[in-house]
Chain A
């Protein structure tokens, strides 16, 4: 019994930081409709800033002042980010801001590395709270008890702010209808900035508060991000009580999981998330998204036409140039190009559902990594030849997409995105923790192509044929009735249904097709590298594809491919420098601000303005 209570108390104490970060994310999303990927980075900053302050400020007063100051400082950093990075892109198409926040993650990561170094920082003990208290014979750290007391206090203060003050009224009003709030004369810019300050300060506070328990390290940002997404989704986007309840639920379960099921703690978290969402699609305290609530920002997509003779000639010439690469390129160039080709197929598959279908998936890596693992497992355990494995990879990924799509497509918008994220994380945690089969973190190695395809040149041609074939196939599908139906379902599901189009089934089929194509890319990937690790299924992988599609241009057919080439190419150049993340992050942010229509869209507009391309009569 004592042990049980001790576990419960530890879980509740752990919930504190999680709740603060999650409520900050939730607040920011509610008001600005931005899913702040960088929220974990502010949490990390809070820990580092708090650490440095504690070195300077002595004693008990210094300790607590440091924590408070860390929150304020991180909040101010958040304000700088909001003003410099997000303000210019609020008008960009929906969710485009994700790319900007991803750039912020990279910048903060490298700046932190620059300032505080690569070594993990051991958090200082809280003065006066260093020991343990025995409750029913079980030792409980005093600091845990302090956290236990602080968290409800913060939660209550937040609740008071939101429900009882004028600021709170504005925040709640903006959450419901920000256009109306603007029309009533509230300065939206400063409301957004204020909320960003509050949200980031909460994240920083959470980071500083957990210092004595966890210290500070450079992996904190992504580590907490997943848990925070889970908490926000289980609790319901925009709901503070929901965030609190879910944070407690996840933390307590985590503690018990470590004790009773150490092999499946992560799986447990995502299984719970999936279960909650299947029963309550909008989280415990969330409310359904009202259709059209976010409205398509920016101009609608233009009609598409298959490429004309001229463009086809250019593409054919480009392909010929690629095909002759073994004659003039080094073998390193061939390997790099193979990587880019595979990545482009992956990005194009995401673009198919995101661009044409408006289905923003945060978990597309599930199918890329899934395909890779299907192939790798088949080779490892069944000695499957490459040809068969490469055929079964897209099939396996497609099957996974059919199942995952069936559940996720019951939701729309950001909830759909979150559910896809949950499923991909579930898959990742399965692979990560089911070591007997997947070898966990050690990955599956020695997966080599058949002997005929083992040369760099041959494998390059194999990838070229499959990837270009796959991309062209997806492109053709976009021009076929199926692709049109997918766009119809996005543009007006109401009209589509009223004219006999089963929109959900169309989206489901598209989701499965995109999953299979990503699986194909994954199959190619595993044989080109000879190994696969769980990080191919990771959240960061999904983000990579997402960034590429947005960067290239959601509203243009070539967006996925162009973005893929651009990002992978730039990455290859930049990774030679020590602080490449910083450079890449800044570059991404600059591109986002300068080219809000994506690379292809902005290039097209530029060409039209300078007279290189004819402006369509209708958009003059």
Chain B
């Protein structure tokens, strides 16, 4: 299988706190990979490094053979990475379709164009993308009045406008109703299958993870403690300890070594 994304020794420390320590993993083409872990495990820090919000303290991130560690969000976007946010970021003053059209305008490099009417550009393509995420009937609604779950789907359409080879989704189903969660992850799985896109996502809802992920990584206290199929993760004693509690969330020996 082709490797799309590969991190080697990815680390980030804030002062003396090692938020992420020596995380190495691979993501294959058309794979749906989940990153899970309790609060404070370093998931968001990891994601922010992949997305260019944070500069890694050490380590490399290879995307299709190019190192993107330390690049900004725009450059990472240009390399074919799409993303959705944990807290949605959409253009509240525009219609739903215009939100997607804006991404398409950027995709075609016409941000500084001053002559055409923006609301007429790439409208058909935008409607196609909205249809894909099941939002076609809401295309002309004011984005500010959308329900939260719809905003999440809209963000997915925005991310797909750039035809990314890799999609990073930070808690894509947070704040959604259970039924919506299943629907959104089913949609994501379909996109992975139909378009060969690779997806890395973080998630708190284990039902969602175990139902859809091809592979699961578990992060705890900044370190990768497990990486395997859903079945392997389910039965891994260390993962059970982290999630169900074995009295401690960490290895006491390791803790005293740190101190």
Contact = CB atoms under 8 A, between A and B. Distances in A.
Contacts of B141: 617-618
Interface in B113-127: 113-119, 121
Nearest to A491: B91
B170 to A, nearest CB: 11
A330 interface: no
A303 B98 contact: yes
A318 to B, nearest CB: 23
Which of B101, B141, B142 has the most chain A CB within a 10 Å cutoff? B142
A618 B113 contact: no
A572 interface: no
Contact of A481 (B83, B116, B162): B116
Contacts of A305: 119
Question: Chain B interface residue count: which class?
Answer: 35 or more
Given A485-B102, A498-B77, A499-B161, A480 B92 contact: no
Contacts of A509: 112
Interface in A492-509: 492, 494-502, 506, 509
A495 B110 contact: no
A616 interface: yes
B51 A492 contact: no
A302 B105 contact: no
Interface string A462-494: 000000000000001101111111011011101
Contacts of B183: none
B93 A491 contact: yes
A497 B113 contact: no
Nearest to B107: A500
A176 B157 CA distance: 37
A496 B95 CA distance: 15
Contact of A500 (B98, B116, B162): B162
Interface residues of A, number: 37
B114 A499 contact: no
B103 interface: yes
Which of A300, A301, A306, A476 has the most chain B CB within a 10 Å cutoff? A300
A177 B92 CA distance: 24
A482 B93 contact: no
A479 B118 contact: yes
Given A481-B111, A491-B90, A619-B145, A502 B74 contact: yes
A488 B78 contact: no
A498 B93 contact: no
A578 interface: no
B73 interface: yes
Contacts of B83: 498
Contacts of A302: 93, 142
Interface of B: 51, 72-74, 77-78, 83, 85, 89-95, 98, 101-103, 105-107, 110-119, 121, 141-145, 155, 158-159, 161-162
30 contacts: A300-B93, A301-B92, A303-B94, A305-B119, A479-B117, A479-B118, A480-B114, A481-B113, A481-B118, A482-B111, A482-B112, A482-B114, A484-B102, A484-B118, A485-B102, A485-B105, A485-B106, A485-B111, A485-B112, A487-B91, A488-B102, A491-B93, A494-B89, A495-B85, A495-B158, A497-B73, A499-B107, A499-B161, A500-B74, A501-B102
